[in-house]
Amino acid sequence: MSGFRTTVCEQPTQQGQGRVVLADPRGFCAGVDRAIQTVQTILDADNPHQGLPPVYVRRQIVHNRHVVEDLSQRGAVFVDELDQIPERAVRAGVPVVFSAHGIAPSVVKEAQRRGMRVVDASCPLVSKVHREVQRFVRDGYSIIYIGHRGHDEAVGVMGEAPDRVHLVEHEADIDALSFGPDTPLVMLTQTTLSLDETADLATALRLRFPWIEEPPGSDICYATQNRQQAVKMVAGQADCMIVVGSANSSNSVRLVEVARQALEVRFPGQGGQRAHRVDDAGELDPAWLQGMDSVGLTSGASVPEHLVQAVLETLASRGFTQVTRARAVEEHMHFVLPAALRSARVSRKVGQATGLTNSSVSG
């Protein structure tokens, strides 16, 4: 990823034609791309498991229903928990993919106990937070984790040490904590949160526990930061904003919040009415566009670009035919596939040539 730079490519808006300001970067981040490619690589390989699915995936591989539906149509079977995978499939060596959001050690142990062939598609940036938890627990710290209760990523991180990781979602959660200066404390963060939201909670934690420590670098991922910065830029040029993303996508929901806050500055009292989330073009409400001359458009980190293009087409059909782009930063991040799958691109024999063995968990 390069350093931050701001560029805006403008085109003149003709009279009577609305304008769309398209955020850049938007859509897939490196971790999401890696996770989806992991499942696709297995699906593209020859399936030696007669009468069984080519792959099981624990939870949604990424938080986007269109991605999950597309992979399901290709044969991937999604389960909530490992006990939904039949023993016959385990014995046959059908691969089991863990989602991009990270997993608790208890899930890993269950997979090992059953002898499953596992491919871990956890985002490397989420895995970094897991390693931080392990290190700080080993060094005697209690951990205050800023995150959203029930989110798959938060569940996985807290599962590393349930008795030592304390989740904070609101300032009221901070008030409920009780630690003395003799307790070493460190602050960690869910990777998909809003920078502003995290800053407020971090400030409150420092006031309550002045001795609390932080890792040398932010836990909020590069893609989350870049997309939020692009939204702020676009919101400074558009009358309203559309964020493409699913309701259970934390980073997509945060983009809507960032957009509302930025629009509130320009349109006091109206920020909440001028930023909207849609799963796809079919959810676009024409009423949102009434009286608007320009529309900002972006998408969450788990959203395929074709969904954005479909929204652009719908906006064009409603008179928003001029497209300009606002670029906040250029992204060059790339994560390689999990080690167990890299040879599968050549061999196309996932169950044999990947090197997967029973009870293996590969990152």
**Chain center to CA of 311:** 21
The residue count of the chain comes to: 363
Report the distance separating Cα 30 and Cα 133, nearest Å: 23
**Of the candidates 260, 257, 252, the residue with the CA atom closest to the CA atom of residue 235:** 260
* Residue 153 among the catalytic residues: yes
Cα angle: 140, vertex 143, 146; to 5 degrees: 170
Read off the tokens for 29.
């981040």
Are 130 and 104 a contacting pair, CB within 8 Å? no
- Helix (H) or strand (E) holding 218, with range, is none
For residues 115 and 158, the answer to whether their CB atoms sit within 8 Å is no
For the four alpha carbons of 321, 324, 326 and 327, in that order, the dihedral sign comes to positive
Cβ distance 121 to 31 under 8 Å? no
Distance of alpha carbon 128 from alpha carbon 167, whole angstroms: 18
Catalytic residue among 132, 153, 160, 169: 153
SS3 296: strand
Residue type, 148: H
Q: Tell me the catalytic residues.
A: 153
